[in-house]
Amino acid sequence: MQQFNIGKPDDEIRSCLQEKIDSLTKPKGSLGVLEDLAMQIGWVQQSLNPRLTNPCHIVFAGDHGIAAEGVSLSPQEVTYQMILNFQAGGAGINFLARQHGFDLKVVDAGVNFDFKEGDPVLNRKIRKSTRNYLHEAAMTREEMELAIQYGAGCVQTCYDEGCNVIGFGEMGITNTSSSSLWMACLAGIPLDRCTGAGCDHTGNIVSHKYKVLKQAMENYRGDASVEDFMRYFGGYEMVMAVGAMLKAAELKMMVLVDGFIMTNCMLAASKLNENVLHYSIFGHQGDEAGHKLALDYLKAKPLLHLGLRLGEGTGALCAYPVVDSAVRMINEMNSFKEIKVTKYF
């Protein structure tokens, strides 16, 4: 599988960053999370004047064979229908991308649909839907490796266009099921605590969903490696997101992490290279069962708690203004040295 050279940023600059943050015209620590973010971004960029440039958001889309088992109330065709909605500019992620100035890219990782030539969707289709992991692995080792490469390649394109802050989202009916299995396998959290309602706001599907996923885990006969759990229970869009996260960290980009599914993709990425977490900003804690547990496992502190569970990367983009404020704080506030204000802390 493709390897990524992700280093921990040099700690030497941290004391200078802290001194600059503490010298701004405010009581020490009074801007809370903004100060933490400014420290993180300055540390990653190795700069006392960090910048966010050409923000980009990638939505990876793919279908899942497990949908045949009725683990979602939404039919599989919703995946491709929502991509058409993305293309028309009418989805949740569209208005947020417009609002916050993000370049939005939509990637067909494995949708069970033939898009027309010329449609504004990047074709990285590996296969029309994964296989049904109740009975067999969702994908082959070769398909998983290709998905990693495709995800990394998408990020390289954004980086070449001047992007240094990137968000990721997903579209794929039943991908909360795959995320629950990744979480249970990779974090060792009991499956029943990882399994939620997904897009079913009534919660009626949870019992059946859990029974199917439990049986899928019992049927698993792999080698229990991170890579094998990813390929056996994953979606092409999820594996591409893992490759994208790892590549973004290798390129020293800031990674905006969305909700339950993308948090579990970050979980998988961190199991492959723990240094990816230094580059990650967790946008929000959603309502999907298990999301808080996954965040707690990663020792992640989400910026927002808005009751979101849409996916698409909407929570990551909602959090972006907070990240932008942190960078503006360290760059635009006066220091006590620059203006005649008595230090009041």
Identify the helix (H) or strand (E) that includes residue 320: helix 314-332
CA distance 175 to 198: 8
Task: With beta carbons less than 8 A apart as the criterion, state whether 270 and 174 touch.
Answer: no
Active site residue 312: yes
320 bridge partner residues? none
Q: Which of 143, 312, 332, 338 is catalytic?
A: 312
Using DSSP's 3-state secondary structure scheme, residue 59 falls into: strand
Tell me the H-state helices in 165-205.
175-187, 191-194
Task: Give 342: exposed, middle or buried? Use CB within 10 Å, 0-12, 13-18, 19+.
Answer: exposed
**Count of Cβ atoms closer than 10 Å to residue 327 Cβ:** 21
Exposed / middle / buried, residue 42 (Cβ in 10 Å: 0-12, 13-18, 19+): buried
* Token duo for residue 159: 């980086």
For residue 157, what is the enclosing H or E element?
helix 141-160
Alpha-carbon dihedral sign for residues 154, 310, 181, 71: negative
Cα–Cα distance for residue pair 40/326, rounded to 1 Å: 10
Task: Give catalytic residues, as residue numbers.
Answer: 312
